[in-house]
Amino acid sequence: MPTQSTSPHLPFGENKNAPWYGMDILSVKQFSRTDLEYVFGVAHEMRGMVERVGTFDLLKGKILANLFYEPSTRTSSSFTAAMERLGGSVIPINEVKYSSVSKGESLPDTIRTLECYADVIVLRHPETGSAAIAAKAARKPIINAGDGVGEHPTQALLDLFTISEELGRLDGLTVTMLGDLKYGRTVHSLARLLTLFGARLNYVSPEILRMPKEVMEEVADKGIVQTEFGSLEKVLAETDVLYVTRVQKERFEDVADYEKVKGAYVIDPDVMKAAKSEMIVMHPLPRVGEISPDFDDDPRAAYFRQMEYGLYVRMALLAMVLGKA
């Protein structure tokens, strides 16, 4: 039912009575606060079931086509595990670039073929807007697993679910985002989602990697307080959630500029002495040096648990769009 869920005029969450059955998951913009609470409620139940029984047959007999036009082992594995933990099966399609499917065939044709075989399609594609194109062609539900610099809604949902599960609440938190805030798709989505919960946002980044104007304006319109900083020390003590992203050397024209700033964006046990004991450190992974492995055993290090919460969110979404939650 692509019309309903992709329409900007009838966002997903506004029809409170609509079942999630057959819906596409294309963008975090589909989700109202009520929707998010519903997803997280289902995901929380999934967590409980996995902890108790590991796997159960909620989606037995259902088939997921896991269609990845670019490799992403983490996301692909997470969806595969989500489907398998619900008793369903997976058609893995990871090597699309070598395949005849990619030889000139349009994305809608590929989607219309795969929906002959599968009950739901997860799509990762390098081009922005691909997921919406796929959803328009499909009768079966499409879940966007990242389309270029566009959306990656399940990542945004798992980030928010992590906060909810770890801190027990989403309202009124102080969230500090650190590192590359310009190119980081995850921090843009998370900032937008947090506006629904009255957060206070701190942005700590090098000058050239500041949070984009359009994101800040959108967030400001919702009445959210945002403050920018060049270093972490002024805000770490008050932070409930520290969301770390990678500062890539390649973003800097002059390597000397990179060398100058990089140390300011590395988290280790020493830096974290200034933080509260009741807070969490998140990271979308993979990390390459921006969080020291020495910090991994600290209870505040939530980034591996974050991966696990991703499993539960994806289980919830699969069950929902297949009419089983």
Whole-number minimum distance, CB 294 to a copy of itself, in Å? 13
Nearer to a copy of itself, 201 or 282 (CB): 282
Give yes or no for a contact between 242 and 215, defined as CB atoms under 8 angstroms apart. no
Nearer to a copy of itself, 55 or 231 (CB): 55
Of 6, 25, 43, 62, the one binding a copy of itself (CB under 8 A) is 62
Does 114 interact with a copy of itself (rule: CB under 8 A)? yes
> Which secondary structure element, helix H or strand E, spans residue 123, and what is its range?
strand 120-125
Closest C-alpha among 295, 220, 207 to residue 251: 207
Pair of tokens at residue 186: 């995850």
Of 34, 55, 227, 231, the one binding a copy of itself (CB under 8 A) is 55
Q: How far is CA 292 from CA 160, 202, 229, 288, in A?
A: 23, 22, 22, 9
Does 316 interact with a copy of itself (rule: CB under 8 A)? no
Residue found by looking up tokens 């499409």 in the block: 142
Residue found by looking up tokens 């591996």 in the block: 304
Nearer to a copy of itself, 104 or 168 (CB): 104
Whole-number minimum distance, CB 119 to a copy of itself, in Å? 7
> Which residues, in sequence order, are bridge partners of residue 120?
64
DSSP sequence for 184-248: -HHHHHHHHHHGGGT-EEEEE--GGGPPPHHHHHHHHHTT-EEEEESSSTTTGGG-SEEEE----
**By CB under 8 A, what part of segment 247-286 binds a copy of itself?**
285-286
Of 91, 208, 220, 237, the one binding a copy of itself (CB under 8 A) is 91
Of 7, 113, 128, 227, the one binding a copy of itself (CB under 8 A) is 113
Nearer to a copy of itself, 73 or 227 (CB): 73
Nearer to a copy of itself, 11 or 323 (CB): 323
End-to-end Cα spacing for the chain: 18
Return the percent helix, strand and coil in the chain, to nearest 5: 45, 15, 40
Nearer to a copy of itself, 140 or 200 (CB): 140
Site string for a copy of itself, 119-158 (x = CB under 8 A): x---------------------------------------
Nearer to a copy of itself, 4 or 77 (CB): 77
Binding segment (CB under 8 A) for a copy of itself, from list 109-117, 171-179, 252-260, 266-274? 109-117
Q: How far is CA 158 from CA 35, 100, 274, 307, in A?
A: 14, 34, 27, 8
Give yes or no for a contact between 317 and 25, defined as CB atoms under 8 angstroms apart. yes
Binding segment (CB under 8 A) for a copy of itself, from list 50-58, 152-160, 216-224, 228-236? 50-58
Contacting residues toward a copy of itself, per CB under 8 A? 53-56, 60-63, 65, 71-74, 77-78, 80-81, 84-85, 89, 91-96, 98-101, 103-106, 108-110, 112-114, 116-119, 285-288, 293, 304-305, 307-308, 310-311
